[in-house]
Chains A and B, each alone.
Chain A
């Protein structure tokens, strides 16, 4: 039972840390909203253009705002060595990665579900289609969380080049963007097929992310 106790303790710690730095998450959400507004100003008042690209705008900005959260994954714990303390208390690095992904997914992606209707209003979207968007968002955001975790653990030792982490996120999330945006425009007969492809990608990333991230964290700790 000891391990469950430490896992719960780790969960509670994550929630406390994120709760105390709640302005961080608010800034990410504000980045998303401001991005939508910037897009609106950049395109101009032409309504036909909006009707064609509104979902793409929302998905692009979700991806970019997730790329901002890259430092929240392992960097602080790595810098003050608390990740070693978790490991000593009996949790393997793989489980630490999974806990981190789940807690950050809850604290960053769930607020997005609250703010997406607001962007729907800003972009004049039809609320009848929001169900499909939420399905694609719940699957796609968990894939992006996994990719962000991989990228974050790869850049633990990187003190010089901040942008490369976002580059890694963007290049691996190309299939997510393609299928999630496509889901909102295709006819109803092939929606389930596309969702199945997305779920397949999600399980692929669920399978590889803990191992890859944990391996990178171990390498980083060895060479610190």
Chain B
């Protein structure tokens, strides 16, 4: 597991796994998109718009997952003084921000025909918007602190303090009575979604996660190279 904290090991390991993951991503993405956009059934109420879900849900999941990874790496990096964790943080922050933006845009495109409005100040939507702002503030703070080695530690503190938003996003649909629907696939034993929709959703989720991983590997390698030449 050393590749998770050591830049050289990470380079070696990522050279081995990069191509298989890339091919798997492309295959799964094509398969998932075909299944989701053509073969999966229409919803009896929502019609074809339900297919936005296959983009919306995976990007929402990734936006939370990336912040979670950043939090864990910040804690590890501050407590064990591992500089690689700050490389990971600065590499994946823009990825998380763009997935959050995709989630918000697809969500409002879905909300317009279903709820009749692009945006409501509902608990889930508001907390996701705060997540996007947090991502942006983290990026700005890192850029505006001139001394990078102190800047990335201070940014890590901001990430840890900001991670209080994650459980709020996750449980906002259960704690408050919101317009956004509760989670459908969190209950593994009896998901409240039909199998013909669940399978493409899972394929798309795996494909999006792998896509995020591919971009993260490229960005982390670039970041390592940049720091070597500084």
Contact = CB atoms under 8 A, between A and B. Distances in A.
Mutual binders A and B: yes
Interface of A: 150, 154, 157-161, 164, 167-168, 171-172, 174, 208, 212, 215-216, 219-220, 222-223
A194 to B, nearest CB: 14
B13 to A, nearest CB: 31
Given A167-B133, A174-B130, 7 more contacts: A158-B144, A168-B141, A219-B154, A220-B150, A220-B154, A223-B147, A223-B150
Nearest to B150: A223
B161 A219 contact: no
Contacts of A161: 140, 143-144
Contacts of A158: 141, 144-146
A164 B161 contact: no
B16 to A, nearest CB: 36
Given A159-B146, A160-B146, A219-B153, A171 B141 contact: no
Question: Which 4 pairs, one residue from A and one from B, show the smallest C-beta to C-beta distance?
Answer: A161-B144, A223-B150, A223-B147, A219-B150
Interface of A is mostly: helix
Contacts, number: 54
Interface of B: 130, 133-134, 137, 140-141, 143-147, 149-151, 153-154, 157-158, 161-162
A154 B158 CA distance: 8
Contacts of A216: 154, 157
Which of B140, B149, B150 has the most CB atoms of chain A within a 10 A radius of its CB? B150
A121 B59 CA distance: 49
B140 A167 contact: yes
Contacts of B154: 154, 157, 216, 219-220
